[in-house]
């Protein structure tokens, strides 16, 4: 079992397969995309899998595949199958923009993937073009339909931004509700790679908008979940992720591994240690030692609680 210095059991690993993405979302990525760091500087699937086995054998119960956009990396379905075959009862999920699900969904299902989180920030085509800097909405909506038809457990993630999609908060909830899919509104997390002058909606502002049409109550959130949950009168549940409060961190059970082998203890914490050389050299003992050190050094809280705090690590590196 992996336990940090604050008594938190670390049983959740998020793995970024690539920094690349076919979108250029203004809250996440520079307009021109990111530099190609080259295959020789990225962990292979086999190297990642060897580290995953170390983590699973030491108590990790949940793995989420992220990016960038994970489905732009070739062979992701084979990687997922490797993990699923090793531990079939693992909670195995992926976070994606959904665009490639029409051609990849069936392969992912057959590989053993169970759950999918799909980003959906707007139902307006022009706004989608503005947000992603690409013509993407039809592809995303089709991806959601395919994932639903294939029987995946789905959640929708919406980054709530003032003067962009704040007038769609209710419409997005109703879209998700009609599909019987949970939506989670995510407060904008300030980072140096986002477009300047973006302003996110805070939790209370999101709730105020929804309260104009719906009555709801706060309910007990799931253990270790970053999302505060709310329930409408008809039983539909939605969530809000608020990283700016310390209680976001109090039950954190996560570590993150970047595609180039950086093991990261916190979403907003610029420090990390690389397992790249250890895995490239097949030194599993060294990789385990780095894992234990990272867990020991995992901070009590993130830095968004500080005034004007801005992360210097892009979320395309850590998968959000």
At 82 the pLDDT is 98
* Nearest CA-CA partner of 83 in 116, 120, 45: 45
The pLDDT value given to residue 259:
95
Q: What is the pLDDT at residue 308?
A: 47
Instruction: Give the pLDDT score at 73.
Output: 96
The C-alpha atoms of residue 148 and residue 315 are separated, in whole angstroms, by 26
Question: Which H helix or E strand runs over 216?
Answer: strand 216-219
Instruction: Give the residues across from 117 on adjacent strands.
Output: 95, 155
**What is the pLDDT at residue 271?**
73
Cβ within 8 Å of residue 165, ≥6 positions away: 121, 122, 124, 127, 131, 158, 159, 172
State how beta strands 216-219 and 153-160 pair.
unpaired
pTM: 0.90
Instruction: Determine the Cα–Cα distance for residues 228 and 242; give it in Å rounded to an integer.
Output: 8
pLDDT at res. 227: 82
Query: In terms of Cα–Cα distance, which of 151, 96, 150, 145 is closest to 118?
Result: 96
Burial class (CB in 10 A: 0-12, 13-18, 19+), 311: buried
State the 10-residue block means of pLDDT for the chain, 320 residues long. 92 95 88 73 97 98 96 97 97 97 98 97 97 96 98 97 97 98 90 74 96 95 77 97 68 92 80 94 98 91 57 53
Which pLDDT score is estimated for 306? 55
Q: What's the rounded Cα separation, in Å, for the pair 169 and 161?
A: 10
């Amino acid at each position: 079992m992996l336990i940090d210095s604050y008594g938190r059991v670390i049983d959740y690993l998020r793995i970024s397969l690539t920094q690349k993405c076919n979108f250029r979302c203004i809250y996440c990525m520079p307009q021109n995309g990111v530099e190609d760091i080259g295959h020789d500087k990225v962990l292979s699937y086999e190297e990642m899998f060897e580290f995953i086995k170390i983590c699973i054998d030491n108590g990790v119960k949940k793995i989420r595949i992220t990016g960038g956009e994970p489905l732009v990396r070739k062979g992701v379905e084979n990687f997922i199958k490797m993990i699923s075959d090793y531990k079939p009862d693992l909670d195995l999920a992926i976070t994606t923009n959904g665009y490639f699900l029409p051609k990849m969904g069936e392969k992912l299902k057959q590989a053993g993937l169970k759950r999918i989180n799909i980003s959906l920030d707007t139902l307006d085509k022009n706004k989608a073009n503005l947000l992603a800097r690409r013509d993407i909405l039809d592809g995303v909506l089709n991806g959601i339909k395919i994932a639903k038809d294939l029987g995946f457990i789905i959640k929708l993630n919406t980054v709530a931004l003032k003067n962009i999609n704040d007038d769609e908060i209710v419409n997005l909830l109703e879209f998700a509700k009609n599909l019987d899919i949970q939506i989670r509104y995510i407060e904008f997390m300030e980072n140096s790679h986002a477009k300047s002058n973006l302003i996110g909606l805070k939790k209370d502002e999101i709730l105020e908008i929804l309260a104009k049409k719906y009555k709801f109550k706060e309910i007990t959130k799931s253990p270790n979940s970053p999302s505060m949950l709310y329930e409408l009168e008809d039983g539909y549940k939605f969530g809000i992720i608020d990283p700016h409060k310390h209680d976001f961190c109090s039950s954190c059970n996560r570590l993150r591994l970047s595609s180039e082998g950086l093991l990261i203890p916190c979403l907003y914490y610029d420090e990390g240690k690389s397992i790249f050389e250890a895995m490239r050299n097949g030194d599993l003992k060294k990789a385990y030692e780095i894992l234990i050190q990272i867990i020991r050094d995992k901070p009590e809280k993130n830095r968004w609680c500080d005034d004007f705090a801005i992360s210097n690590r892009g979320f395309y590196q850590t998968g959000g």
